[in-house]
Amino acid sequence: MSGKHGKFKRREIRDLIQNEYGLKVYNMHEGDKGILTYTNQGDKIFKKMKKDEAQLLFVASAYNHIKSKGFKNISALCKTLEGKYYTKYDGSLYVLEDSMKGKSFSITSEEDGRKIGEVLAKFHTAANNFIPATGSRAKVDWGRWIDKVKVQSVRLKKFKEIAESGTYSTKFDRIFLKYVDEYIKQAEEAYILLKNSGYMERVYMAMQTNQLCHKTFKKHSLTLLDDGDIFISSLENCSYDIIETDLVSLLESCVGTKSLAYLESVLQGYSSLKPLDANSINIIRALLIQPGRFYKIVNRYYGKKKNYNEYELLKKMERGIRKEERRKEIAKKLEEVMQ
């Protein structure tokens, strides 16, 4: 097989899946998410995971919990004949995840917006009160944003000093300096917004109810089925967090410049099942304007003396800036919706 799984031989993968999972493999081909495998028990994705056994158990039990709460249109990790949720190959862990035929979801109408909003609200209801299987290593992101945005503003200021004090400036420095003041301002604004919007109260509530979130509730995790239902997959980054973080991912991924008009319908759809108040919207706004992408890239350049390719990092920064601008547009639209 070619592509990123090229080092595997087709026969090896087929035998591995057949022997470990007891399935009959009819065909396989490489897809974006992994190796799409057609079996006697439906379509599966065979994919490599950069996680340990305990972390995978957390993900597997998250799928099981959500399904057990009546949320049907969600994927699951298959168990091996030995009862494990992974198989080992060449020193790495692989999982076999259920897959469904369909199109990648995108919002092209108000109805789409409402529908995906409702799906996310139902998902959050099912993902509440989650206690993982014994032996899991829980991924927890509760309450981290106050620190994160504070660190962003402090360190961006230091990076600015470094960029300005250099004897000669690179193209990276020049682009960085062009935008840095704006992003420092945004980080500070996000900090104030979080502080004033009851962020910690939301965290406290989520901790009380063991609220699980998808964390990559984006286009690539959403499949539009032939019957019009939306199938959710790729829960591997799920973690304990506040629900607003998933709404941020959804808006960022599915509400492009063309579908900005449908943003309100997403919120309406969600609110029809799980009401969102002004604080929630402000938290979403704060998470959209915090310059996380920009910070991550410039931190590699100024913050860590690791090996990097300056040209690639520059391209990444340019892409990062474009994404930050899009996020800002969504935040602006949210502000309009609130008014």
Partner 1 sequence: MTIDTFVTENKQKDREILSEYNLDLELFNMMGLEIIDIVPVRNIFRITTQKGMFSLKRVIYDEEEMNFIMSVIEHLKRNGFENVMDYMAKDDGSLFYEYDGEKYYLTRWVDGRELDYQNPIDLKSATHLLSKFHKASQGFDMSMVPDSRNLLGKWPQNFKDRILEMNEMKFRALLKKGRADFDRIYLEYVDMCLGDAHEALEILINSPYEELVSKAKEDNGFIHHDYAHHNLIQSFDGKLYVLDFDYCAVDIRIHDVGSLIIRNMKKTGWDIDKALYIIECYDRESPISNDELKVLIPFFLFPQDFWQISRQYYIEKKDWGDRDYLDKMNTKSQYTISRREFIEEFQKRI
The CA radius of gyration of the chain, in Å to the nearest whole number, is 22
Q: Which is nearer to partner 1, 151 or 338 (CB)?
A: 151
Letters for 262-291 (x = contact with partner 1 by CB under 8 A, - = none) are ------------------------------
Per CB under 8 A, 211 contacts partner 1: no
Letters for 301-320 (x = contact with partner 1 by CB under 8 A, - = none) are -xxxxx--------------
| Amino acid occupying residue 87 | T
Instruction: Report the nearest approach of partner 1 to the CB of residue 76 (Å).
Output: 22
Instruction: Report the nearest approach of partner 1 to the CB of residue 195 (Å).
Output: 11
Q: Which of 87, 99, 136, 290 binds partner 1 (CB under 8 A)?
A: 136
Give the residue from 144, 124, 20, 108 showing the smallest Cα distance to 62: 124
Per CB under 8 A, 183 contacts partner 1: no
Instruction: Report the nearest approach of partner 1 to the CB of residue 34 (Å).
Output: 25
Per CB under 8 A, 135 contacts partner 1: yes
Name the β-bridge partners of 77: 97
Q: Taking a C-beta distance cutoff of 8 angstroms, is the pair 258, 112 a contact? A: no
CB atoms within 10 A of CB 283: 27
Per CB under 8 A, 192 contacts partner 1: no
d(CA 304, CA 119): 40
d(CA 191, CA 153): 9
> HSE on the CB side for 307, CA within 13 Å?
0
Per CB under 8 A, 81 contacts partner 1: no
Q: Which is nearer to partner 1, 106 or 237 (CB)?
A: 237
Q: Can you list the alpha helix ranges (DSSP code H) found in the chain?
A: 10-21, 53-68, 110-126, 145-165, 171-196, 199-208, 244-254, 263-273, 278-289, 292-298, 310-338
> Stretches 11-19, 34-42, 47-55, 187-195: which one binds partner 1 (CB under 8 A)?
47-55
d(CA 150, CA 194): 11
Instruction: Report the nearest approach of partner 1 to the CB of residue 74 (Å).
Output: 22
Q: Which is nearer to partner 1, 155 or 185 (CB)?
A: 155
> Stretches 110-118, 150-158, 185-193, 224-232: which one binds partner 1 (CB under 8 A)?
150-158
d(CA 94, CA 155): 38
> Stretches 4-12, 70-78, 198-206, 316-324: which one binds partner 1 (CB under 8 A)?
198-206
| Amino acid occupying residue 150 | K
Site residues for partner 1 per CB under 8 A: 52-54, 131-132, 134-138, 140, 142-144, 146-148, 150-151, 154-155, 158, 162, 200, 203-204, 207, 210, 240, 302-306
